[in-house]
Amino acid sequence: MSHVLDAPGELTDRARRFLSARGRAVPFPTVENPDDAQVAERLARFPGVDKDVFLARLRPAQARYGGLVYRTSAWSFEEEIRFQPWPAYGASVEHGPLGEFIDHTVAHPYTVTLRGDGAVVYRFGRDVAVFPDADALIEADALYWECESWIPVVEPKPGQSQAGVREAASLLTPIPEGSGHTEWWWESDGFRVHVWHTFAELFEQERLAKWGLWARDEAGVRAAHRFLSGLPVRVDGTS
């Protein structure tokens, strides 16, 4: 399998532009990669785990994403991240064995891992599946990147009211490629809505949930304000 920077596959044009602008590759792996027999031996302590399925996911992930580096403004990171798919053998009650996936350049209390089926799982006090696969994470990062050049209409901040936002946004056009299990994107008429519940679930603190709204241009700003006028929250995001 080719590296994602060389063969983006089914990534959208937005994600391709993002990787072209921000992405680079560094050497990977930098230490000896455990062979299949070594990985299978370590997995033997996990009853019911199909080592062949695990390896079938791990090796393509290493080939496609290994060594990918970019700076992201995603609310979960806001830093430069490095993709390092690696058989770490961390055990999760809900998700089974998890491999290492993303290395932080800024200290964070949580880790980002890869589940056997390719899902991206964040780990802290609990384990939360955030994206169905790594491509979805890249698509989300590309959306944040694109929004950097848009007009902010509602600035995200912890503790802001989300009353009615997700319900109203669900009537807009979803952006499924960049949405996951704990964060979602929608757009319509030149504006974009993002609801982020990732840290609220990971740290089990509802006050950490945030949402934001951006407009492509002034026409989008006007459309965004029409959308906001139907919500039980003010434009500044407070109740």
What confidence tens digit (pLDDT) does each residue in 4-30 have?
999 999 999 999 999 999 999 999 988
Please give the Cα distance from 15 to 12 (Å, whole number): 5
Question: Under a CB-based contact definition with an 8 Å cutoff, are residues 97 and 72 in contact?
Answer: no
Average pLDDT of the residues in 131-151: 98
Q: Comparing 42-51, 72-81, 211-220, which segment has the lowest mean pLDDT? A: 42-51
- In this predicted structure, the answer to whether residue 157 has a pLDDT above a threshold of 90 is no
- In this predicted structure, the answer to whether residue 163 has a pLDDT above a threshold of 80 is no
Q: At what angle do helices 134-147 and 13-22 cross, to 10 degrees?
A: 80
- Reported confidence tier of residue 238, pLDDT bands at 50, 70, 90: very low
Q: What are phi and psi of 168, to 5 degrees?
A: -70, -40
Of 35-39, 88-92, 216-220, highest mean pLDDT: 216-220
- In this predicted structure, the answer to whether residue 140 has a pLDDT above a threshold of 50 is yes
- In this predicted structure, the answer to whether residue 167 has a pLDDT above a threshold of 80 is yes
pLDDT tens for 29-66 read 888 888 989 888 887 777 777 778 778 888 999 999 99
> How far from the centroid of its chain's Cα atoms is residue 18's Cα?
14
Question: Under a CB-based contact definition with an 8 Å cutoff, are residues 111 and 130 in contact?
Answer: no
- In this predicted structure, the answer to whether residue 89 has a pLDDT above a threshold of 80 is no
Rounded to whole angstroms, the maximal C-alpha distance in the chain is: 60
Please give the Cα distance from 211 to 221 (Å, whole number): 16
pLDDT for position 90: 61
Q: Comparing 103-107, 159-163, 218-222, which segment has the lowest mean pLDDT? A: 159-163
In the chain, what are the domain boundaries? 13-141, 150-229
Give the list of residues 6+ apart from residue 114 with CB closer than 8 angstroms, or none: 57, 58, 61, 85, 98, 99, 100, 101, 120, 121, 134
- In this predicted structure, the answer to whether residue 235 has a pLDDT above a threshold of 60 is no
pLDDT for position 138: 99
Q: What percent of the chain has pLDDT over 70?
A: 93
Question: Under a CB-based contact definition with an 8 Å cutoff, are residues 127 and 121 in contact?
Answer: yes
